[in-house]
A and B are shown apart, each in its own frame.
Chain A
Amino acid sequence: MTLIGRSEEREAFLVLEDGSIHRGYAFGAVGAEATGEVVFNTSMVGYQEMLTDPSYGGQILVPTYPLQGNYGINDRDVESSRIQVRGFVVREVCDLPSNRLSTRTLDDYLRDEGVPGIYGVDTRALTRRIRMAGVMMGIITTEGSPEQALTRLREAPDYGSLDLVSEVVAQSPYEWTEGPGELPPDAPRVVVMDEGLKFNILRLLRQRGCAVTVVPSSTSFDDVMALRPSGVLLSPGPGDPALLEGVVQTAGGLLGRLPVMGICLGHQVVARALGGETYKLKFGHRGGNHPVKDLATDLVTITAQNHGYAVDADGLPAGLDVSHLNLNDNTVEGLTHREMPLLTIQYHSEASPGPLDNEYLFDRFLDLIREYR
Chain B
Amino acid sequence: MTTTPERPSRVLVLGSGPIVIGQAAEFDYAGTQACRALREEGVTSILVNSNPATIMTDHEIADVVYIEPLTVEAVTRVIERERPDGLLPTLGGQTGLNLAVDLAEAGVLEQYNVRLLGTPLDAIRTAEDRNLFRQMLDEIGEPVPENEVVTTVEDARNVAERLGLPVVIRPAYTLGGSGGGIAYTPEQLDEQVRTGLSYSPIGQVLVERSLIGWKEIEYEVMRDGADTTITVCNMENLDAMGVHTGDSIVVAPSQTLTDKEYQMLRTASLKIISALGIEGGCNVQLALEPHPTVAGKGQNAGYSESPYYVIEVNPRVSRSSALASKATGYPIARVAAKIAVGKRLDEIPNAVTQVTTAAFEPALDYCVAKIPRWPFDKFPSGDRSLGTQMKATGEVMAIDRSFEAALQKAVRSLEVTGDSLLWEHSSWSTISDPLEELPLLPNDQRLWALMAALRRGVDLDDLSVKTGVDPWFLYKLNAIVGMENKLLAEPLTPRLLRDAKRIGFSDTQISTLADRLPEQVHELRQEWDIRPVYKMVDTCAAEFEAATPYFYSTYEEENEALPLEGRSAVVIGSGPIRIGQGIEFDYCSVHAAWALQDEGAASIIINSNPETVSTDFDTSNRLYFEPLDEEGVACVLENERVTIGEQEVFPGTAAQFGGQTAINLISPLNRRAFTILGTPPATVDQAEDRQRFDEFVTTLGIPRPPGAGVTSIEEGLAVANSIGYPILVRPSYVLGGRAMEIVHTPAEFTRYVMAAMEEVGDKRPIQVDKFLEGMEVEVDAVSDGEDVLIPGIMEHIERAGVHSGDSMGVYPAPSLSEDDERQVVDYTVQLGRAFGIIGLMNIQFVVAQNENQDGTPAPSTVYVLEVNVRSSRTVPFISKVTEVPLVNLATRVIMGRTLKEMGYESGLWPKKPLVAVKAPVSSMAKLMGVDTYLGPEMKSTGEVMGIDTSLAPALTKALQAARLMLPQSGGILISVSDRDKTEMMPIARKLAAHGYEVYATEGTATILRAVGIEVAGVPAKVSEGEEGVGITTDLIRDGRVHAVVNTMSGNRVPLRDGFEIRRAATEQGIPCYTSLDTFRVAVDSVTGGAEAGEYSIMRLDEYVNGRPADEFLAR
Contacts and interface: CB of A to CB of B under 8 A. Distances in A.
Interface of A: 2-5, 40, 42-46, 48-49, 64-67, 70-71, 74, 76-77, 91-92, 94, 96-101, 122-125, 127-128, 131, 287-291, 293, 298-302, 327-328, 351-357
Contacts of A43: 259, 363
B291 A98 contact: yes
7 contacts: A3-B482, A42-B365, A123-B365, A127-B365, A289-B361, A353-B259, A355-B263
Contact of B263 (A74, A301, A351): A351
B542 A124 contact: yes
Contacts of B231: 302
A187 to B, nearest CB: 25
Contact of B472 (A70, A92, A131): A70
Given A64-B541, A98-B475, A299-B227, A42 B363 contact: yes
A42 B255 CA distance: 15
A44 B556 CA distance: 20
A124 B365 contact: yes
Given A71-B257, A300-B345, A328 B363 contact: no
Given A96-B472, A127-B543, A355-B361, 4 more contacts: A4-B483, A42-B540, A97-B472, A124-B558
A258 B465 CA distance: 58
B279 interface: no
A247 B253 CA distance: 41
B366 A291 contact: no
B267 A300 contact: no
B414 interface: no
* 5 shortest interchain CB distances as A-B pairs: A3-B482, A46-B259, A125-B558, A98-B472, A64-B541
B211 to A, nearest CB: 16
Contacts of A293: 346
Contacts of A91: 401-402
A66 B401 contact: yes
Contacts of B362: 289
Given A351-B263, A355-B266, A65 B544 contact: no
Contacts of B542: 40, 64, 124, 127-128, 131
Contacts of A99: 256-258, 291
B367 interface: yes
Interface stretch (B352-360, B626-634, B733-741, B747-755): B352-360
Contacts of B673: none
Contacts, number: 178
A122 B557 contact: yes
B365 A98 contact: no
Given A4-B479, A44-B364, A299-B228, A98 B471 contact: yes
Contacts of B226: 298-300
B1 interface: yes
B931 interface: no
A302 B540 CA distance: 14
Contacts of A351: 263
B230 interface: yes
A49 B259 contact: yes
Interface in B544-603: 544-545, 556-558, 560
A3 B479 contact: yes
A48 B258 CA distance: 9
A239 to B, nearest CB: 22
Nearest to A283: B543
A99 B257 CA distance: 7
A105 B82 CA distance: 63
Contacts of B255: 67, 70-71
Nearest to B557: A122
Contacts of B483: 3-4
A100 B360 contact: no
Interface in B344-390: 344-346, 355-357, 359-367
A336 B657 CA distance: 60
A354 B364 contact: no
A289 B486 CA distance: 41
B292 interface: yes
Contacts of A96: 471-472, 475
Contact of B359 (A71, A287, A327): A327
A67 B363 contact: no
B470 interface: yes
Given A4-B499, A298-B1, A291 B360 contact: yes
Contacts of B541: 40, 42, 64-65, 124, 127, 287
Contacts of B472: 70, 94, 96-98
A74 B257 CA distance: 12
A45 B257 contact: yes
Interface in B452-501: 470-472, 475, 478-479, 482-483, 486, 499
Contacts of B366: 66
A101 to B, nearest CB: 7
A12 B535 CA distance: 24
A3 B500 CA distance: 11
A45 B259 contact: yes
Contacts of A71: 255-258
Contact of B557 (A125, A289, A355): A125
B403 A67 contact: yes
Contacts of A64: 363, 365, 541-543
B884 to A, nearest CB: 46
B943 interface: no
A216 B997 CA distance: 90
B296 to A, nearest CB: 11
A96 B362 CA distance: 27
A72 B291 CA distance: 13
Contact of B365 (A65, A76, A101, A354): A65
A5 B495 CA distance: 11
Given A124-B542, A128-B542, A298-B226, A44 B346 contact: no
Nearest to B263: A356
B365 A290 contact: no
Nearest to A131: B542
Contacts of A94: 472
A289 B365 contact: no
Contacts of A44: 253, 262, 363-364
Contacts of A288: 361, 363
Interface string B525-543: 0000000000100001111
Contact of A70 (B256, B355, B401, B560): B256
Contact of A302 (B1, B230, B256, B558): B230
Contacts of B499: 4-5
Nearest to A125: B558
Nearest to B545: A131
Contact of B228 (A2, A70, A131, A300): A300
A44 B232 CA distance: 13
B162 interface: no
B1056 interface: no
A91 B470 CA distance: 22
B226 to A, nearest CB: 6
Interface string B269-295: 010000000000000000001011000
B1043 to A, nearest CB: 53
A352 B479 contact: no
Query: Which of A91, A100, A122, A128 neighbours the largest number of chain B CB atoms within 10 Å of its CB?
Result: A100
A49 B543 CA distance: 21
B260 interface: yes
Query: Which of B230, B253, B486, B503 neighbours the largest number of chain A CB atoms within 10 Å of its CB?
Result: B230
Given A44-B364, A65-B364, A67-B402, A77 B260 contact: yes
Interface string B212-230: 0000000000000011101
Contact of A352 (B259, B401, B470): B259
Interface string B23-65: 0000000000000000000000000000000000000000000
B556 A122 contact: yes
Contacts of B535: 124
Nearest to A44: B253
A64 B292 CA distance: 30
